[in-house]
Each structure stands twice: as structure tokens, then as C-alpha cells.
Amino acid sequence: MATLETLNFDNSFSRLPTVFYSAVKSQPLKGARLAHFSPDAARLIDLPEAELLRPEFVEYLNGQSLLPGTYPLSQVYAGHQFGHYVPQLGDGRAILLGEVMNQQGERWDLQLKGAGLTPYSRMGDGRAVLRSTIREYLCSEAMAGLGIPTTRALCLLHSEEPVWREQLETAALLLRLSPTHIRFGHFEFFCHSGQHEALKQLTDYVIKTHFSELGRGDAPYLALFRWVVEKTAVLIADWMAIGWTHGVMNTDNMSIMGLTIDYGPYAFMDEYHPDFIPNHSDTEGRYAHKMQPWIGQWNLGRLAAALTPLVPVEALKEALSSYEKIYWEAYTIKMLAKLGLSQATDGVTELITSLLTILTDYHVDYTVFFRQLCHFQPGETNAAITSHFQDPARIDSWLADYAWALDEIEEPLDQIQARMKRVNPKYILRNHLAQQAIEQAEQGSFKAVERLHQLLQTPFDEQPDCESYAEPSPDWAKRIVISCSS
């Protein structure tokens, strides 16, 4: 275990030339206080809880004093936003404090989000509001609980510092962890600004630092791209199977490590609908739920384009062409697992598509349905499942086919259903639950944040006294509009 002062920093990114970043200083927030922390995330960097409770912890994060061993910097990148190329973005409100090597030899970026102006802030104020910080904090830890690759959130500070969005709010600070925060947009920046030597240096850096095994092959750049294609396809299959929509899949929000990153107006779906759009500023539905697999592929195409100075185009195209197959295989396996099945025969894959059509037509809650399916009893009425359908004829017929498919498996039903419960969560971070926690936090209480944070660490377990968190969203909650300003 480490103390704050003995964290094992190895700031490899800061050793790159300064074309990649600007050294910065965070601007302390007025009245910053620790609102909540994740002991699980702290363990990733060998920090015991007692260290997080020291007053120095807040002082270090809030830039009142320099955490020993750090080299605060903001990275430059570009990106395709809603399909249009923006030649320069960058960490407009994020500061990389440094990289900690933990006792297992893993590397973790410590990044502050909301720490003030940087050279990449453009028109922004460098701040993150409490509302959006809680959403990112809770969702990244919820995704980790679900086993979905994600950046992690170690803690959340709140403050008295006023910030203006659509109304007056207060600023907060998130400490985010990730093996690296490098995005597709980093590669786009150096390719499209004609800095091809730097592009090579960045790619060599990523391989050397994070994929040393790829560096030993004879085509490491292509191997890196293939790896990213695979991880991205599998990640998006995870999102689709769990019923989650990112909302802003710009290439600057795509992690080179295949992690979920930059939580904005995301949502777990309540009622299943493939056209679901969580981001109300996305009027065309570019980032609608059903679009995510295709956007993932399109974004990988932008990464491929950025790698053309290093890899022959034909090889990149060939690697990208494997995306669709990897995605569909991963998605099918995950959906079959939700049903307790494993053999992807034609009849069984048809079960998935027909089920999704029925759920759409009857506006059925996605998470509740799959969890209740874990209690399905062939030959019985199964009222808990069928009661969600105004006219049960179609779901009854589907359940009859499903019973056949289950019957093919030589495994006792209770074992099948125990497996199903490990992939069909009972608890998800529904928008209205996050919203209630935000409203309490804005009044000064972080109890609801604590409760949700705790609950979502083990989303597959039955948790006594938490039944109400597992219920479908009430009607009023479906009308909540998540602000896109953050």
C-alpha cells in the first residue's frame, strides 16, 4: 500500500516532446470538499481509504499544493464531432496529473476533470458541473460493476464555485483513472495536421507503453489497429447487450484501449427501443442506440485514415473489414448468454431478433424483462413476465419457442438460470435514480450517491431493501431531459 506522498509515479507521457501536450496548473476551486470516493478504484493505485480521508488529499487534487511525483499536463487531440472534423480539440478541462504504477505493475493515468482552463479550453470555462460529474462518477463505477470496460472514477469533489450552464450551478472535480486517456482523436490530430513524425512517435509510444507484445511482431502498427478494432467491436457489443447508449460517440470520445470514456448524456434504456436517443441535441439520431455498432465501425475508419502514413491502406481496410463479424459474434454470444443459451443456431438467433421486436412493440422495460426471464418456468403461466404485455399472445408464443431451446440444453434449469442472473443485472443506473442523487447532492447530501454507488458495485446480486431500485422507471421519470451541457 502507498501513501499520497509515495505513489509510484512514472510519467511516461510527459517524457514525449511538448507537441503532444502543454504543461498546466490546475486552478483551485473555492471551498472544495471530498464528496465521495470509491475504495475499489483507490485500490487500483494501492491507496488505502485512510489516505483519501487526509485533508492533504483534497489540497493535492484541488491544486492547492502539488502532489509529489506529478507532472500536470493537458493533451492535444482532434476529432470528428457528429461526422465533422474539428482540427483541434484537446483536454479543455482535463489535467493528467501523472501515471501511477501499482504493485501489479499496471499503469494508471490520474486525470482530473474540471480543474480549470487549459490551452485547449476554446470557449469553455475548464469546469465540470456537479450534475455531470456525479453522472460520470456513478456510471463509470456502474459499468465496472457490470464488467464492461471503462475508465474508472476514484473520487468526486464538490465546491462552492459557481458556474453558468443553462442556469447557475456549482463546479465539481472528478479524479478519473485509465491505463491511458489516449483517444482516436490523438492520432487524427497528428495525421491531419501533417505532423507524421509525431504520429509515428505517438503510435510507437502507445505500443511500447501499453502493447509491448505487439511491438515484437513484424507489423506492429497494423497489429495495434487490429487490436483496437477487436476491442471496440466487443465493447459496443457489451453496450448493446446491456441496453446502454453512449450518446456522443465522437472520435475524440473513443478510447484507444477500447474503454467506455467520456460519460455525457448517456442512458441505460428503460423501455426497449432501437431508435432510442439519449442526447436531445442529437436531432438526427446519429448516436441512437441502434446506430452504435455502425458508428463504432465508422469511427474506426477515421482511426484507420489517421494511420495511413504508417500502414498501407489495403492492410487497414482488410483489418477494418473484420469488425462486422467480430461485433456480431460478440453480440450474439452476449445475447444468447442473457437467454441462458449458447449454441448460435439459426433458430436460436431468430429468438433474439423476434424477442427484441416484441419488446419494442409492447414498450417493455429491457432490464426488468431479462431479469424476470431468469425465473421462467416452462409450462407455467409466468405472469410476472407476461403481465408486461398488453396482449400476451406474442410473448406466449415466443416463450413456447424459448422453452424448446432451453430443453435442448443438458443442464438443470436452476443452473441455467443462475448463469443468466450473472449477465442480466437486477440494478442499473436509471436516469431518474441518478437525477434523484444529483438533486440531493445539490442540496448538500451525498447519501443517495453513496447508496447508488454501493448498489451498483454488485448489480447482479439480489440486495435486500433495494427492491425499489430494480423497478421500471415511473412515467414521470421518462420525461426527464438530460442536459447536454456539462
Cα separation values, 138 from 57, 210, 449, Å: 21, 27, 8
Mark 324-353 with x for binding to ligand AMP (rule: CB under 6 A) and - for no binding: ------------------------------
Three-class SS state of 49: helix
Quick check: 186 binds ligand AMP (CB under 6 A)? no
> Which of 167/468 has CB closer to ligand AMP?
167
Selected binder of ligand AMP within 251, 253, 260, 382 (CB under 6 A): 253
The piece of 15-23, 120-128, 218-226, 228-236 that touches ligand AMP (CB under 6 A) is: 120-128
| CB-nearest residue to Mg ion | 262
Query: Is 423 buried (19+), middle (13-18) or exposed (0-12) by CB count in 10 A?
Result: buried
Residue 73 grid coordinates: 499536463
| Closest of 148, 174, 142, 159 to residue 40, by C-alpha | 142
Q: Which residues lie closer than 8 Å to 156 by C-beta, 6 or more apart?
A: 34, 35, 36, 37, 133, 134, 137, 172, 173, 174, 175, 449
Query: Is 239 buried (19+), middle (13-18) or exposed (0-12) by CB count in 10 A?
Result: buried
- Sequence length of the chain is 486
Cα separation values, 43 from 55, 141, 153, Å: 19, 13, 12
Cα separation values, 445 from 41, 182, 307, 438, 469, Å: 22, 34, 48, 9, 19
Interacting partner of 349 out of Mg ion, ligand AMP, none (Cβ under 5 to 8 A depending on kind): none
Residue 37, φ and ψ in degrees, nearest 5: -140, 160
Helix (H) or strand (E) holding 51: helix 49-52
Measured distance between the N- and C-terminal CA atoms of the chain, rounded to whole angstroms = 35
Interacting partner of 127 out of ligand AMP, Mg ion, none (Cβ under 5 to 8 A depending on kind): ligand AMP
> Which of 232/473 has CB closer to Mg ion?
232
Q: How far is the CB of 203 from ligand AMP (least distance, A)?
A: 21
> Which of 37/266 has CB closer to Mg ion?
266
Quick check: 90 binds ligand AMP (CB under 6 A)? yes
Quick check: 371 binds ligand AMP (CB under 6 A)? no
Selected binder of Mg ion within 51, 136, 141, 262 (CB under 5 A): 262
How many CB atoms are located within 10 Å of the residue 11 CB?
19
Interacting partner of 93 out of Mg ion, ligand AMP, none (Cβ under 5 to 8 A depending on kind): ligand AMP
Phi-psi region at 444: left, alpha or beta (left = phi > 0; alpha = psi -120 to 50): left
Quick check: 89 binds ligand AMP (CB under 6 A)? yes
> Which of 24/359 has CB closer to ligand AMP?
24
C-alpha span between 326 and 155 (Å, rounded): 35
The piece of 135-143, 185-193, 251-259, 419-427 that touches Mg ion (CB under 5 A) is: 251-259
Selected binder of ligand AMP within 36, 80, 93, 430 (CB under 6 A): 93
Selected binder of ligand AMP within 92, 147, 274, 472 (CB under 6 A): 92
C-alpha span between 54 and 49 (Å, rounded): 9
Q: Exactly one of 109, 252, 262, 282 is catalytic; name it.
A: 252
Quick check: 127 binds ligand AMP (CB under 6 A)? yes
Determine whether 252 is an active site residue: yes
Q: What does 118-132 look like in DSSP terms, one character per residue?
A: -TT-TTS-S-EEHHH
* Type of residue found at 31: G
Interacting partner of 92 out of Mg ion, ligand AMP, none (Cβ under 5 to 8 A depending on kind): ligand AMP
Quick check: 72 binds ligand AMP (CB under 6 A)? no
Quick check: 109 binds Mg ion (CB under 5 A)? no
Q: How far is the CB of 118 from ligand AMP (least distance, A)?
A: 7
The piece of 98-106, 116-124, 295-303, 407-415 that touches ligand AMP (CB under 6 A) is: 116-124
Quick check: 75 binds Mg ion (CB under 5 A)? no
Interacting partner of 59 out of Mg ion, ligand AMP, none (Cβ under 5 to 8 A depending on kind): none
Q: Which residues lie closer than 8 Å to 127 by C-beta, 6 or more apart?
A: 93, 114, 116, 161, 163, 171
Interacting partner of 126 out of Mg ion, ligand AMP, none (Cβ under 5 to 8 A depending on kind): ligand AMP
C-alpha span between 104 and 98 (Å, rounded): 18
Q: How far is the CB of 401 from ligand AMP (least distance, A)?
A: 43
C-alpha span between 135 and 212 (Å, rounded): 34
Quick check: 126 binds ligand AMP (CB under 6 A)? yes
> Which of 118/253 has CB closer to Mg ion?
253
The piece of 34-42, 90-98, 202-210, 313-321 that touches ligand AMP (CB under 6 A) is: 90-98
Active site residues: 252
Interface ranges with Mg ion (CB under 5 A): 253, 262
